[in-house]
Structure 1
Amino acid sequence: MKRVFVFSAAIFLLACNGSGSDNNTAAPTTGNSQTGLNTPPGATSPLPTRIFVEGSPIDLGGTALLQKDKEKLQPGADYLVTFTAPGGATSKASLVLNFLMALKPGSYPIVGMNFKRPGNPYTEIYGGEAGAKPKLTNYKVNITECKDLGDNHQGGHKWSISGTFDELVIPALPIMLVSKTRHHPVEIKIQRGTFTNVTFDDNWEAMVQQEIDKAKK
């Protein structure tokens, strides 16, 4: 019950912060109302994330949440980022990457992956389940730019990151392979991906706690 309450408070916080922003890049505190689009190579996309699956580009949204890495999986990378790239009305695919990070450019390990896309007739699901314990992998996210955007007026700072990642091979969720009456690929390959100017707050957990405290009053 407590987890549900915390999650609800987090969603409420993000929605409230997003309502007053003119920033077009998707982020936990700015929001993104644009839908996912499949655009040809070289085309300009208003969306911050582009991935290539089976040779085709897919453009997605992009939001990020930052929290302390309580597991201390890698010295010098003290934060755990949950990067979510949702699709929209046109592109039904979605990608979630969990990776470690310091607040500076560098190459950081991915510690969790999840990818979904429409199948025939069922949705294809790959990677770990939501809330799974982070685990070091050999896959990396390369943060090419990390900018401090200044005071977020809620006790912390807002940051912007851009980055890339190379091929990800994500196995199907085991339960999706149980059925003998429907075909589900055993893995998916995302050949590469980029994201640009995705923002987050460095005190997100404290902001959520503030909303919880307000709700209790």
Structure 2
Amino acid sequence: MRFKIGSPYPFIAAVSGAVMLFVLVYATIARHIARAGNTDRQAFDAIIVLGTPADGDGNPTPQMLDRVGEAVREYDRGIAPRIILSGSAAHNRFVEADVMARIAESQGVPPSMIFEDTQAKDTIQNACNSAQIMKNHGWNSAEVVTSPFHLQRASMIFSKMPIQWRSHAAPNNLTPGYYSRTAGLIEIVKTARYLVWARWVERCAV
């Protein structure tokens, strides 16, 4: 495409590129300074596990097994007496919370200690819906378990919730090669989207 002399399009393109670069740099910095919690407490009312898709046959993926497995280990350590599993059928027809609940039960967590949010379609809704479950039960504190690459954005989102919380990374035991430069770039883009758009549009009314 050729631009005529005096055309505003090159200027517009340059400004747009500069704005996009600024937003991505802003998101990168925000991720690095994101707080990992707002409390020093060592025990909580609940452990929240953020959802990730099951595979196309409804089986847990390695990433899902890593997250739930770490939550169960924290439960067994006495970090909290119950687990909240959050995630809908956001990426296929299988409800993430249901699949995660089966994993937790198979690893010894009593069904009565498992609470499901089957409606959340993204991380903001994970946080909002889990905070609402906690409010409904009179719980005030939670440890939030998710994958390392997801931890910073999740922490930024949970910092807006009216609860005491601490983030906790699930070790990549089954997904040691999952975190790549591509995954990192995607998280930066998602963080940028959260900062400039989603946090205003998807406000939580807990």
Q: What TM-score do you get using the length of structure 1 for normalisation?
A: 0.27
Structure that is richer in strand per residue? 1
Structure that is richer in helix per residue? 2
Q: What TM-score do you get using the length of structure 2 for normalisation?
A: 0.28
Larger CA Rg, structure 1 vs 2? 2
